[in-house]
A and B are shown apart, each in its own frame.
Chain A
């Protein structure tokens, strides 16, 4: 498996997958950091919650696009060079599927870790009140990565099954808008849409007072039921997607 994973990285040499991840993350970080230098004392006291509220919302737009692009870059090389028919004679199809997913997953994990690093360093530089809430940051890493990887998995299945990469990319973009849009509806509705899980698994709420124009963030209990449903979705997509890929004839 390690050999297969190493070969996935070898295959994407000069494809600059990291550059796409870096570019999308940079845009997201710039959006997140916009205006933080004008924070007042009240806002600084809730700075950590501010980020933990804002990042999942930005993630629902950016991460599905990133997952779609990463999966497409990893799978497109096989379609372009018609290499699947060769690979199927030298390695089990299931191992290829797993190696590709692991390769993409490492990029998505790196993106989430980069976000955590930015949240912590920006918070410390700006002077948020209190030390970084490590437990909450770990929850953020866990939930963001879980949703990212499930979406990446779906994108990989589509990218492997369809030669035309416009199909998975369109699904990714529509999914990202749908995920953002569904946040305006009751949380239970978000559970029906994979891309809505950035919102479902948010553990910071916002209380906006129209009269005083003051925003108050507060922690809400983690939706472990939602997390369990997401885990089930992941397993189902993996089992079905892998079976479809193995059954596909060249």
Chain B
């Protein structure tokens, strides 16, 4: 499917600080796009620019194939639902009253209120004042608000913030179901790699305002290759023997890292070491985790 969101050279400067640098996002349609990055990487700023609530310093944004400008912004946003940072609500009004206000302003029929309340499972709480809602309920109301009018695109900024584990699970399932059930494209940001790993098909990783990776999540997984770590009593000599055997290896601390080998191949190479009287003291299988890749890409430890 073609790209629903496309940005070219998107930049945002606050004072002298370039918060977002030359961002070229491509969000394919009909799937969940995970927008991943450490805290302060520029995720929210980017999403705000997509929604027109922050002005880009440079660059262009296209949504549904149309370049967004001040004249067509609202007509494009009619088909976009959003939940940015914390949910927006009037605490002194009930959940249903809150939704009715947005319904009227969006030009969506009133009957949509019950539909979205059912989706987020708030139908029994709709007559309660939002000030009395728990954080999780407010977050779900925010999502219900974003779902009003059945938009083609949902932009959700850290939607699981402040939710308990059960709420997080529920929100994830809901987000995953939206593309299949309603044909929506969902762009969801998070600083949690494990979360994006569970819900997204495509991923963009942003670090210090720059896009450091963008592709299918499976491509990222392919990078998490397995290697064999061998520690010997004479690594220099072992390297020479592996070279003679045609096995490329590289050093890491006290270990030699070999590519993934079959059991027979590995047994043969290790026998070679024994024959050369090199003592082998450790043999370990190592798998580069997604977190390792994330840290490699962003230079920042990932939140789990």
A181 to B104, CA, bound (A): 46
Distance (whole angstroms) from the CB of B54 to the closest CB of chain A: 5
B89 CB contact (under 8 Å) in A14, A81, A88: A81
> Are B54 and A249 neighbours in the complex by a CB distance under 8 Å?
yes
Encoded as 1 (CB less than 8 Å from any A CB) or 0, chain B from 189 to 211 comes to: 00000000000000000000000
Question: Whose C-beta in chain A lies nearest to the C-beta of B12?
Answer: A249
Bound complex: CA of A4 vs CA of B101, how far in Å? 9
Q: Mark A1-39, 1 if CB is under 8 A from B, else 0.
A: 001101100110111000000000000000000000000
A10: B residues at CB distance < 8 A = 93, 97, 100-101, 104
Given contacts A86-B145, A89-B80, contact A11 B90 (CB under 8 A): yes
Query: Which B residues between 48 and 71 are near A, CB-CB below 8 angstroms?
Result: 48, 51-55
Do the beta carbons of B101 and A89 come within 8 Å of each other?
Answer: no
**In B16-59, which residues have CB < 8 Å from any A CB?**
48, 51-55
CB distance A83 to B90 under 8 Å? Answer: yes
* Least distance between B71 CB and chain A CB atoms (Å): 11
B296 CB to closest chain A CB (Å) equals: 33
Chain A residues with Cβ under 8 A from B90's Cβ? 11, 77, 81, 83
B176 within 8 Å of A (CB atoms): no
Chain A 85-97, CB within 8 Å of chain B: the 1/0 string? Answer: 1111111100000
CB-CB under 8 A from A7, the residues of chain B are: 101, 104-105
Cα separation A91 to B80 with both chains bound (whole Å): 13
Contact residues in A for B52 (Cβ distance below 8 Å): 88-89
Task: Annotate B87-101 by CB proximity to A: 1 below 8 A, 0 otherwise.
Answer: 111111100010011
Kindly identify, within residues 142 to 179 of chain A, every residue whose CB is under 8 Å from any CB belonging to chain B: none
> In whole angstroms, how far apart are the Cα atoms of A87 and B93 in the complex?
16
Given A7-B104, A89-B82, A90-B105: A250 in contact with B54 (beta carbons within 8 A): yes
CA A10 – CA B93 in complex, angstroms? Answer: 9
Q: Does A210 contact B (CB under 8 A)?
A: no
Please measure, in the bound complex, the distance between the C-alpha atom of A7 and the C-alpha atom of B98, giving whole angstroms.
10
- In the complex, are the beta carbons of B91 and A80 less than 8 A apart? yes
User: Quick check: B55 and A83 within 8 Å, CB to CB?
Assistant: no
Q: Is B113 close to A, CB under 8 A?
A: no
Q: Give the docked Cα–Cα distance between A43 and B303 (Å).
A: 80
Cα(A80)–Cα(B145), bound, Å: 17
Tell whether A121 is near chain B: CB-to-CB under 8 Å: no
Q: Give the size category of A's interface with B.
A: 20 to 34
Task: Say yes or no for A82: interface residue by CB 8 A criterion.
Answer: yes
CB contacts (< 8 Å) of A84 on chain B: these are 88
Q: How many residues of B contact A (CB 8 A)?
A: 29
C-alpha spacing A6/B181, complex, angstroms: 34
Cβ–Cβ < 8 Å partners of A90 in chain B:
74, 77, 102, 105-106
Residues of B within 8 A of A13 (CB): 92-93, 97
- Shortest beta-carbon distance from A200 to chain B in Å: 39
In the bound complex, do residue A14 and residue B53 qualify as a contact, i.e. CB atoms below 8 Å apart?
no
Query: Which of A4, A6, A14, A86 meets B93, CB within 8 Å?
Result: A14
CB atoms of A91 and B105 under 8 A apart: yes
Minimum CB distance partner of A3 in chain B: B104
Of all chain A residues, the one with the shortest Cβ separation from B130 is A81
Segment 70-86 of B: residues with Cβ below 8 Å from A: 74, 77, 80, 82, 84-86
Instruction: Tell whether, in the assembled complex, residue A88 and residue B53 are in contact, meaning their CB atoms are under 8 Å apart.
Output: yes
Q: Per a CB cutoff under 8 Å, which of A4, A15, A80 touches B105?
A: A4
Q: Choose from A3, A6, A11, A85 the contact partner of B53 (Cβ within 8 Å).
A: A85
Closest residue on chain B to residue A83 by CB atoms: B88
Identify which of A14, A86, A92 contacts B88 (C-beta below 8 A): A86
Contact string, B207-229, partner A, CB cutoff 8 A, digits 1/0? 00000000000000000000000
Q: Which residues of B contact A15 (CB under 8 A)?
A: 92
Are A249's CB and B53's CB within 8 A? Answer: yes
Instruction: State which residues 187-220 of A face B: CB under 8 Å.
Output: none
Residue of A nearest to B102 (CB): A90
Contact B92 A14 (CB under 8 A): yes
How would residues 101 to 120 of chain B score, 1 for a CB under 8 Å from any chain A CB and 0 otherwise? Answer: 11011100000000000000
CB contacts (< 8 Å) of B82 on chain A: these are 86, 89
4 closest pairs, A vs B, by CB?
A: A86-B88, A83-B88, A250-B53, A90-B105
25 examples of A-B residue contacts, CB within 8 angstroms: A6-B104, A10-B97, A10-B104, A11-B93, A13-B92, A15-B92, A77-B92, A81-B89, A82-B85, A82-B88, A83-B88, A85-B51, A86-B82, A88-B51, A88-B53, A89-B51, A89-B74, A90-B74, A90-B105, A91-B105, A249-B48, A249-B53, A249-B54, A250-B53, A250-B84
Q: Which residues of B contact A (CB under 8 A)?
A: 48, 51-55, 74, 77, 80, 82, 84-93, 97, 100-102, 104-106, 130, 145
What 4 new A-B contacts, CB under 8 Å, besides A13-B92, A85-B88, A87-B105?
A10-B97, A15-B92, A85-B48, A89-B74
